[in-house]
Amino acid sequence: MTKPAKAPRQTGRVVQLRKGTTLEMVRLSCPDAHQAGLISESFGLLVLDSDGIRDLHERLIIETADALREGLADRAMQIHLQRIVGAYVGSAHGAGQFYSRAVSEARDATAKSANDTRDEDLDGPVGFDSAAQRKREFAADMALQSHALRMAAEGAVAAYERVVGERWKPFERPVENAGHSLDRRAAELQMAAFD
């Protein structure tokens, strides 16, 4: 019986990439204009001009690129805008995650306050809001903040596409595993001592 031939060993190195934050991730974590409007109405908060925020940030990035055009080559402009847009997207995503946690805490506190046998969750003295109400109001504030940052990020992404001519995607950096490569080099040196 013959042994099957082994596949030739590949010498290429597999490089893991650290995934960047995408605009889709922002859209999943931050409220859209409709939801932000409902939250504003429910809590008596200011209704944001979503389109105005988006358009302003789009113009801001485009005007910045126009001012830099003479001093930057196309590739340098692309790298510069990549970083700026990445900051907007990252900021919006962080706000969206914070908003999600605030909503979870508000839901938990509201569910606990519905239980009549829990003294610690009852309403405070007259004139003071309950802890659950404060958490709901905080979550509403975070909803509007994350929505505003989402719209700023969407404007920045749209501007990137207009200036660079291609769709923005997050920079994905290689995951550095310095300890692993040092261990491998040390092992190679040790093995070479046997020769």
pLDDT by residue (tens digit) across 63-120?
999 999 999 999 999 999 999 999 999 999 999 999 999 999 999 998 887 775 555 5
Look up the pTM and report it: 0.75
Higher pLDDT, 170 or 2: 170
Other residues' Cβ atoms within 10 Å of the Cβ of residue 152: 21
Mean pLDDT along residues 10-28: 73
**Mean per-residue pLDDT over the chain, rounded:** 85
Q: Residue 175 pLDDT > 70, yes or no?
A: no
Cβ atoms 156, 57 nearer than 8 A: yes
Q: Tell me the residue type at 26.
A: V
Which pLDDT belongs to residue 71?
95
Whole-angstrom distance, CA of residue 106 vs CA of residue 98? 12
Banded pLDDT at 179 (limits 50, 70, 90): low
> Which residues are registered as beta bridge partners of 18?
173
Residue 164, class by beta-carbon neighbours within 10 Å (0-12 exposed, 13-18 middle, 19+ buried)? middle
Q: Which is nearest to 156 in space by CA: 67, 59, 80?
A: 59
Q: Residue 60 pLDDT > 80, yes or no?
A: yes
Flag the least confident range among 6-10, 83-87, 172-176. Answer: 6-10
